[in-house]
Structure 1
């Protein structure tokens, strides 16, 4: 075990590295499973549902999803808060938001930065799910996502 500490300063750092690797595999899987030929609302709903299901299926990601202390540890170890902008999830959102704007399904008076900030607010809410004390948290997250998509959608 001493050899590990030659490369890592703690068990927490080892867990974080394993978590990061598992998280990248999960993100790749998630973006390939979502059917983007659906409406924006259905695409985002499937996207969030797939994230939650994938997080629960992986023992490492389930710890992040269900354990407040582990969630905090991961946030503490995240050295670069802008790493999410280089992720598959971020690329998926950018590509689809651009497409939805181009085909007239999303409002064009809201810029990309603001649109992505709205979706990123779901991550912020997720990081504080235990404070919400909601027994039906996945449903609450889905409703928030629906409301964001409704607000971004062009009204006919």
Structure 2
């Protein structure tokens, strides 16, 4: 097996992340094979295994990168000088848009992809989910301290936000034509409920 310089290793890793993402978007996690990934990257199977022990590990790293990009944009949003209603509205709409306009995140929100990751990478997924929950609680605590959200158990508010986000999974059942209206109405009702509780 050839030895790679640090620069070559970084190039191969980035290639796997970028091309792997495209293939996962096209075929999904289950239907993508390592052979397809290595063919697209022009590397040997042994080289793939120097970087990732499975296609699930590669998928998981791409998912982490996508979530980190989304989080950095959300952090900027929280720094803007917005009213409570504007901030919550922007948060929910940005969260929806970041999934709806990102085909990789769309796929990762599908139950079969998520369930497969939990089965194949239970420790990593458990840590990932816990880390997301802690991030959510910190963000909600900050919003409560600045008076944007009512004082409540932050886990409950995080749970409400997560419940709203699961709407993405039911777009087909709701109907593509009315989904945007339903989504906007639910966001409006949740925000009104949260702010009413605050007042």
What is the TM-score when the length of structure 2 is the normalising length?
0.57
CA RMSD in angstroms, aligned pairs only: 3.1
Match of 2:143 among 90, 96, 104: 96
Contact 1:107 1:152 in 2 (8 A): yes
- Closer, same or farther: CA 137–36 of 1 in aligned 2, 3 Å: farther
Contact 2:96 2:165 in 1 (8 A): no
Give me the whole-angstrom Cα distance separating, in 2, the residues matched to 1:11 and 1:131: 28
2:72 maps to which residue? 28
Q: In the alignment, what sits opposite 1:62?
A: 103
Q: Give the secondary structure class of the aligned counterpart of 1:154.
A: helix
Change (3 A) 1:90 1:31: farther
Greater C-alpha Rg: 2
Aligned to 1:146: 188
Equivalent residue pairs, number: 145
Q: Which residue of 1 aligns with 2:132?
A: 84
Distance 1:112 1:40 in 2: 16
* Residue equivalent to 2:94: 50
| 1:18 matched to 2:65 | no
| Equivalent residue, structure 2, for 1:114 | 156
Q: What CA distance in whole angstroms lies between the structure 2 residues aligned with 1:53 and 1:144?
A: 15
Structure 2 unpaired stretches of 5+: 1-43, 119-124
Q: CA deviation at 1:112?
A: 2.6
Structure with larger RCO (C-alpha < 8 A, sep 6+)? 1
Deviation at residue 51 of structure 1 after TM alignment? 2.6
Cα distance in 2, alignment partners of residues 20 and 73 from structure 1:
14
SS in 2 for 1:44: helix
Structure 1 residue 130, shift from structure 2 partner: 3.9
Structure with the largest fraction of helix: 2
